[in-house]
Structure 1
Amino acid sequence: MSYQLGKDIHANMNYFNQLFKVDKSFDILCRTFQTGGRLACLYFINGFVDDTSLQRMLLKLETEIEEFPKNAKEYAEINISYIEIDILKEEKAILKYLFSGISLIFIDGFDEVIAIDARTYPARGVEEPEKDKVLRGSRDGFVETIVYNTALIRRRIRSNDLVMKLMEVGESSKTDVVVTYMDGRIDEKLLNRIISKLENLKIDSLSMNQESLAESLYRGSWFNPFPKYKYSERPDTTAACILEGSIVILVDNSPASMIIPSSLFDIIEGTDDYYFPPITGTYLRLSRMLISLIALILTPTFLLFMDNPQWIPKGFEFIIVRDPMNLPLIWQFMILELAIDGLKLAAVNTPSMLSTPLSVVAAVIIGDFTVSSGWFNSEAMLYMAFVVLANYTQVSFELGYALKFLRMIMLILTAIFGIWGYGVGIILVIVCVSFNKTVSGRSYLYPLIPFNAKNLLRRFFRVTLPNSKNQRV
């Protein structure tokens, strides 16, 4: 049974000191003071409150009060000037408010608690995301504080139809999750299903933020490598998706939004497509699609031609490897695929001051030595270099690794079964894309499947700015 608050502050303090583990946790503080001749205590978490504002409030509360109010609500209205104030009686609510960073005041003679929202969360500046940069447009980005992120969206959508539903997920973490959408523009069935899943989600914590939430929301077959969600660290992109009828989920401590539903065409879109005139945006979009497709099939196609040089079209004989191959091409490509990921991991964990010299070492010394020593042929290095650069033409990490896994499977099948393996690899790619579904259960290739000519043309050609009132299907 939960504790019933009484009017004796000593009994209340004895219970909540043990419940909050004040004597064990250095950052949970309890400060006693006198207000109007009565004993009062203030509970707060160090690092979550604005010290200056709290000190000013305590100075005011410690002054003499001629006629003491009858209850906590009347006391708060007269003596506390903060805008956000709640009166609490339930133990569960008291726990939730304190560990959310809200300060609590217990006063002798009151069987209620005054909750004061004087929070200030540690947060970095809203600088442009490192991965999702644009040539033109806004330079702000989401941060790890959910209140800041919702404000960045509100700044762009000043409409009463914008709904931000706050929920709590995780039995231990009690992480704040916000479901954001435009009322009247979304799929109501999908919205109700997502909210129902979030409310009934049995999970201890969202330790990996949105990835933990994504795997809990969608427990389907994860062997298909293509991503189910679109992630964005840009508030302008997120606001545009909301206006188009998407549902956006924000998770506290995560600097990214999760956009639902998302098809392949949604994920491959880039922000620069809309910050440039239609002809330039169309060129950028088509270039990105073409480069991603070439990156998928380039090395398997080259391997197939090297195994069957008689199939090389006339005039392209220069692609034939002339130098001796000490290592079969399939092993060269597979080793390079793994080595590239090793270089990526090394770059992530390298201190910024050493990144430039180590990049020179990796690119010049290692690259030149591997070719001159006979480990790799220069053609294999060239094509893998193109593949690496092509992966950075689109912003989605998940889509880049999906293409990488399928490319490696195509390489293995082509090396073992030749033209038949190459054909099976192409069919496998088509099957993975065609039979994939969005979270809403619709086709991953919409508007290609089911076919919608008008929407399909808009996916390829950026003719005019999108009409925000058209609901995204």
Structure 2
Amino acid sequence: MNGQNKKNIATYWSFCYMGKIERVTLVYRKIGDNLSFFKNAFSDCSDVLYRNIQMDGKRACLIFIDGLVNTTDIQQHVILDLIKQEENVSTIHDIEEKTLSISQTVEENTLDKAVTAVLEGNTVLVIDGKEKLLIFDAKEFQTRGITEPESETAIRGPREGFVESLRVNTSLIRRKIRTTDLKMVSKIIGDKTQTGVAVMYLDGIADEKIVQEINNRLDRIKIDGILESGYIEELIEDDPWSVFPQVQITERPDTVAANLLEGRIGIVVDGTPFVILLPATFWQQFQASEDYYDRFHVAIFLRSIRLIFLGIALLLPALYIAVTTYHQEMIPTNLLLSIAASREAIPFPAVVEAFIMEISFEALREAGVRLPKTIGQAVSILGALVIGSAAVEAGIVSAPMVIIVSLTGIASFTIPKFSLAISVRLVRFPLMVLASVFGLFGIVIGTMVITAHLCQLRSFGTPYFAPLAPLKLSELRDVFMRLPLWMYNRRPSEFVKSNVKRQKNNLYPSPDQNK
């Protein structure tokens, strides 16, 4: 047995991780042994290519996955450099420094890490007689072009959105925030998928305790695969049983940049255009990016509309059921006679009507999403019109109920964030049941339970209903309304404990300038 094999056997079980022994294999001196290791690891993998070359009388081999690398770069900056080298190089370091013209190269002495590097899209160079190998970055794979995000369309503002490439997404954020304070901690999560994850924050602004807590929760994830940021969201949120979103999801780089400047932390996941922002509050879900690009008068009006229609989306069906079933005296006489005439031939109580129409509307909305875009919208609109009019003519539901459900559906579309909109749609059904059993008292009870739940909810230690609960009057300027930008002198105190001041020498006086 030669000395190299003895060394490999001695160190085969040498590394410990989380109390478990991890198997590693050092690079063999003979290239044949190394290639056998790779071919055994990549058995039945037809996309793994082995390019044999001769350099300085020695046999060498390039190992990479077809479709994940730029073959032109490998040909011009690796193969030609190795074949044409004139200077005698004796070590891997000399080859890295004096021969190869490719930019990113790393020396490695374990075959296990080399296999992982190949799976990540890197290229490995194995040379006969060398106890180390070279890993260099020549990645290139097809990605979707940068386009306007479909889930967060904006009338005014940037038209670029995230894509499925981790490095493209981080570069879009770097273009927005050009400072060395923007930190990025890279992680690999998923035993099988080896998904790249980047935690981004502004050093000196983000709370270090929150950053550490996020890193700890990510490090505790032990799962076979991460395919989308939704996996991360569900595995790190504070209350997994709550129906309300405890993180903010966005496709817009400008939204991520704005939140990082306020002290939040972003989690970018490879393979998805949706970035996670933490900590999140309930009121963030009402803020759209163009609120800060339009004049503050427009933003105040639009936020007022959203808050009003939030109440409509949540309570309107339940209120109609309660009033028509138990509290008819609250309805004006003429309107009551009109509603009674329309419901005269209806065989179902109001709550059954509401459930029939609400479930039908949700089914049409889901069908419109799943159908091709060219026909999905037309089908959902025509389906709602045809089913609604046919149901009224058949005497299954009343015309007022069709109007109520239509207004409720329109109101849910005014909520900028889909994750909150779907939560409101889910909570609406228990409120309808309470209204049918207890009337307005049931609605009051349900609303109190929802409010109490929102007040006790936390997002990485941050109160979910902040700054309304606990109440901080000085920070309400960006909740129900959006005041002029020159009045935003301080970052939210819930996220930032130091470096709270955002601007100096404002053009207009503000209350905080005298502090």
The equivalent residue for 2:98 is: 78
The equivalent residue for 1:276 is: 294
The equivalent residue for 1:39 is: 59
Q: TM-score, with normalisation over the residues of structure 1?
A: 0.94
CA contact (8 A) 1:327 1:375 kept: yes
CA contact (8 A) 2:106 2:136 kept: yes
Please give the per-residue CA displacement for 1:308-332, whole angstroms capped at 9, x wherever unaligned. Answer: 2112257754773421222221112
The equivalent residue for 1:415 is: 436
CA contact (8 A) 1:134 1:272 kept: yes
The equivalent residue for 1:6 is: 28
The gaps in structure 1 that reach 5 residues or longer are: none
**2-structure distance, mates of 1:216, 1:232:** 18
**2-structure distance, mates of 1:441, 1:79:** 53
CA contact (8 A) 2:53 2:61 kept: yes
CA contact (8 A) 1:230 1:262 kept: yes
**2-structure distance, mates of 1:245, 1:227:** 19
**2-structure distance, mates of 1:321, 1:28:** 73
**1-structure distance, mates of 2:338, 2:430:** 23
Match of 1:396 among 390, 413, 417: 417
Write the letter of the residue equivalent to 2:350. L
CA contact (8 A) 2:319 2:440 kept: no
Identity %: 28
Match of 2:406 among 356, 381, 385: 385
What is the total number of aligned residue pairs between the two structures? 468
**1-structure distance, mates of 2:172, 2:33:** 44
Match of 1:182 among 202, 213, 227: 202
Match of 1:215 among 207, 229, 234: 234
* SS of equivalent to 1:320: helix
With 416-425 and 174-183 compared, the bigger mean Cα shift is at: 416-425
**2-structure distance, mates of 1:181, 1:357:** 43
The equivalent residue for 1:100 is: 120
Tell me: CA distance 1:5–1:168, structure 2 relative to 1, closer, same or farther (3 Å): same
* SS of equivalent to 1:41: strand
Moved over 6 A (4+): none
Please give the per-residue CA displacement for 1:50-79, whole angstroms capped at 9, x wherever unaligned. Answer: 122222235513534333211112112222
Match of 1:61 among 74, 81, 101: 81
- Cα shift at 1:236: 0.3
Please give the per-residue CA displacement for 1:403-434, whole angstroms capped at 9, x wherever unaligned. Answer: 12222111101111223322222222222222
- Cα shift at 1:197: 2.1
CA contact (8 A) 1:270 1:395 kept: yes
**1-structure distance, mates of 2:333, 2:93:** 87
Q: TM-score, with normalisation over the residues of structure 2?
A: 0.87
The equivalent residue for 2:373 is: 352
* SS of equivalent to 2:168: helix
CA contact (8 A) 2:85 2:99 kept: no
Please give the per-residue CA displacement for 1:354-376, whole angstroms capped at 9, x wherever unaligned. Answer: 33552454133222212211122
The equivalent residue for 2:357 is: 336
CA contact (8 A) 1:132 1:395 kept: yes
Tell me: CA distance 1:48–1:74, structure 2 relative to 1, closer, same or farther (3 Å): same
With 90-99 and 103-112 compared, the bigger mean Cα shift is at: 90-99
Tell me: CA distance 1:144–1:318, structure 2 relative to 1, closer, same or farther (3 Å): farther
Using CA pairs below 8 Å that are at least 6 residues apart, which structure has the higher relative contact order? 1
RMSD: 1.9
CA contact (8 A) 2:323 2:439 kept: no
The equivalent residue for 1:243 is: 261
Match of 2:248 among 219, 226, 230: 230
CA contact (8 A) 2:68 2:141 kept: yes
The gaps in structure 2 that reach 5 residues or longer are: 1-11, 13-23, 495-515
Write the letter of the residue equivalent to 2:244. F
**2-structure distance, mates of 1:279, 1:59:** 62
**1-structure distance, mates of 2:374, 2:427:** 35
**2-structure distance, mates of 1:468, 1:125:** 37
CA contact (8 A) 1:40 1:107 kept: yes
**2-structure distance, mates of 1:319, 1:290:** 26
Please give the per-residue CA displacement for 1:234-282, whole angstroms capped at 9, x wherever unaligned. Answer: 0000100001100111111111111100111112211121110011111
The equivalent residue for 2:498 is: none
**2-structure distance, mates of 1:321, 1:112:** 86
- Cα shift at 1:470: 2.1
With 284-293 and 53-62 compared, the bigger mean Cα shift is at: 53-62
